[in-house]
Structure 1
C-alpha cells in the first residue's frame, strides 16, 4: 500500500493540493431551520473490496440494510462525532475508506454527545448522506456519567466530556465487539487500516499504540505527584520504564478491557486527581497511569502526531523521518481552520484531498454538483435504519 517517503511527500507538497441510537426520516439542516450551515458535504465515492478480501457481511444486496455488527470479518473503528470537529471526522472516515483494501468490511462506531448543538439524529443522517454505503452505528454518550470526574485543565477544550468517551468503549459497544481501533477526529490514514487491525496484543497487554520513550515522561504529572511515594510508585512497579503514548490512535482488546475492569481503574485515578491535583492535562494522564509501561508498541508510522502545532505562535511541524501511515494534527492548530484562513502549514495540503466540506452552495435546497459528486442543499430529507 501507499508509503509516504520523503520524496513522495515533497511531490505532494509541491502540488499544494453509553447507547445505540435508531433513526428515521428527518430534514437535514442547512442555512434555514436549525441554522447549522456547517452540514454541507459532498457525497464520497463508493469504495469496494479488492481481491482477496473476505466476503462483505450479508445484507441481501441492500446497502441500506444493517450488517451484523458481530460478523467476524469486520474491522471495528470507534470515533467521536461532534459539531466542532465534524469536518475532521468526515475527512478521517474518507481517508480510511480510500486506502482500505477491504472497505466494505470496515465498521464505524460513532459516539455522540447528547448535548451537541446538532442532535444525534442529525449527525447520523449527515454521515449516511455523505457515505451512503458505510457500515456504522451511532451511540449517545451520557455525559453525566463522567462530568463529575472531570477536573479543570490547562486548556478548556480538554475538559469536553466527549474526550473521555474512549474510557467507556467496553461499556458502550456491543458485547460481541471484542477488539476496536480508536481514532481521533483530526487525522487521516494514508495506508490500509487492515495492517493496523492485525496488530497482535501479546501477553496481558490490553492496548497497542506507538510509544515515544524519548519524551520527558515526568512533565505529564505535577511535582506533588512525583513527591508522593504512594502515588509515584505506580510507575516504579513497572517491569520497564513507562513511555509516553498518544491516546488518539489505539488498538484495544475489549475482552481484556472488560475483564480487567479498566474503565474503573481510569476512573479511580480521575478521583485522585479531583482531590490531589496530580496532572494538568485532560484525559491523557489517567491512561498513562493505567497503561504506560504495559503497552504493545506499534510502529511510529501509525501516529505521526503533533502536526497541529500552535495556532497562537503560528508554528508548523515537520514530519519525522521514515515511512508514514497516519498523519495526526494533534495540538491547537487544525488543518481545515488554517486552510480556510489561507494560512496553511505545508502538511495541511496532505489533509485537503480527503476534505468533503462544501464551501460554495446556493442555500436553496436544490441539488449541488461538486467535482462530479452530488449533495443535497438545505431541507433535503434522508431516511435510514437503525444500525
Structure 2
C-alpha cells in the first residue's frame, strides 16, 4: 500500500498517532509511506522512521514540499495560518513516476481496521473521496451548483496513472495561478479542478466529526439540501463498521487532543496514544472556548437536534410536516 501524509511540525505527534494506528491495524500489509514534508524536525522524522521499522513491513520516505508551497504561497489563501494543507495538491509531482496509485490520509485521523480493500478500487475516476457537508452558499461562491456533490479532502484515493494521463498537475498549477481565494483551502481546489472526475469513497473510510454530531441521514439532508445524487444513501450511512475516523473541526465537538474533548472516540484515541511511543510527550492542549459554545456542548445533543429540526422544518415544510419531523428527531 502506498500511503501519503503531510503536516508541519506542530502536527507531527498527531500525524505520528495516525501512522501508529495505520501500522497497528494493517500488520500484514507492506506499507510505503510518502511523507510530504513542509517543516518537520529531524527528531520527528526519526520517530516516524522508527515506527515503520518496528512494524517490519513498512517504509517511510520524506519529500520536501516547502519550496513548492513557497513558490505558490502568494496565489493561495493561508488555511488556519499555514499552507501545509496544499501540499497534497503536488502529490503526483513529488512521488516517483512508477507509482500508479496511493491513498492520501490527513494527519488528524485514526485508522481502526485494514485499508487493503481501498486499493482494489477499479473506479473509472481519477480520485475517490468521501462526501462532505457545506452550506449551499459556499457551493455558489465557488461556482458549483447546489445539486453537485462536494467532497472532503481528508482521505483521497488517487489514481496517479490517470492523473498523469489527464495532465492534472498542469491544470492545478494553472488554476492556482488564476485564483487566489479558497475558503476551504485545497479542498475547494480538488472539487473544482477534478470536477466530474471524482468517485465516491465509502462512508466508512472518512467519517468526519459532523456525521457524529448529526447522526441522522435525513437530518443532514434536510440541513444541507442533499439527496442520493450528491450524498450517501441510507444503507451507506452506517456507523457499524468504520475504517477511518477523521477529526474535522466542528465547534460543538472538540477534537481528542484538546482537554475536555467530547468526541465519541476520545477514549479510543487516548488508548492509541498510551500504546504508542508518543505516550510520554503527547500534549493534550488546554483550550479556552467561548461560553456559548461550551454550553451547547454540555447540553444534550438531542435537545440541540430537536431545536434545529423544529426551526428548519417549519421554515421549509410548514406546521404539518414539522410535526412528523419532530417525532422522528425525538427517537
* TM-score above 0.5, yes or no: yes
Matched residue, 2:129: 209
Secondary structure, aligned partner of 1:242: coil
Q: Distance in 1 between matches of 2:33 and 2:152?
A: 21
Q: Which has the higher contact order (CA 8 A, sep 6+)?
A: 1
Distance 1:336 1:84, change over 3 A: farther
Distance 1:336 1:138, change over 3 A: farther
CA drift of 1:181 comes to 0.3
Structure 1 residue 179 and structure 2 residue 101: aligned? yes
Q: Distance in 2 between matches of 1:306 and 1:346?
A: 9
The 8 Å contact of residues 100 and 192 in structure 1, kept in 2 or not, is answered as yes
Structure 1 residue 130 and structure 2 residue 51: aligned? yes
Structure 1 residue 141 and structure 2 residue 141: aligned? no
CA drift of 1:143 comes to 2.1
Matched residue, 1:259: 165
Secondary structure, aligned partner of 2:99: coil
Aligned length: 252
Gaps of 5+ in 2: 217-237, 283-331
Distance 1:199 1:243, change over 3 A: same
Distance 1:152 1:251, change over 3 A: closer
Matched residue, 2:311: none
Structure 1 residue 273 and structure 2 residue 195: aligned? no
Distance 1:181 1:343, change over 3 A: closer
CA drift of 1:270 comes to 1.8
Q: Deviations over 1:243-278 (max 9, x none)?
A: 11111101101111122221221222222223xx4x
CA drift of 1:301 comes to 1.2
The 8 Å contact of residues 111 and 245 in structure 2, kept in 1 or not, is answered as yes
The 8 Å contact of residues 2 and 32 in structure 2, kept in 1 or not, is answered as yes
Could you state the TM-score of these two structures normalised by the residue count of structure 2?
0.67
Matched residue, 2:257: 337
The 8 Å contact of residues 254 and 261 in structure 2, kept in 1 or not, is answered as no
Structure 1 residue 294 and structure 2 residue 197: aligned? yes
**2:25 equivalent among 77, 99, 112:** 99
Distance 1:304 1:176, change over 3 A: same
5 Å matches for 1:307-386? 317=213, 321-323=238-240, 324-331=242-249, 335-338=255-258, 341-355=259-273, 356=276, 357-359=278-280
CA drift of 1:319 comes to 5.4
Matched residue, 2:138: 219
Q: Deviations over 1:318-345 (max 9, x none)?
A: 656533221100116774532xx34453
Q: Distance in 1 between matches of 2:115 and 2:167?
A: 28
Distance 1:138 1:272, change over 3 A: same
Distance 1:167 1:331, change over 3 A: same
Q: Deviations over 1:27-47 (max 9, x none)?
A: xxxxxxxxxxxxxxxxxxxxx
Matched residue, 2:34: 109
Matched residue, 2:86: 164
RMSD: 3.0
CA drift of 1:207 comes to 0.2
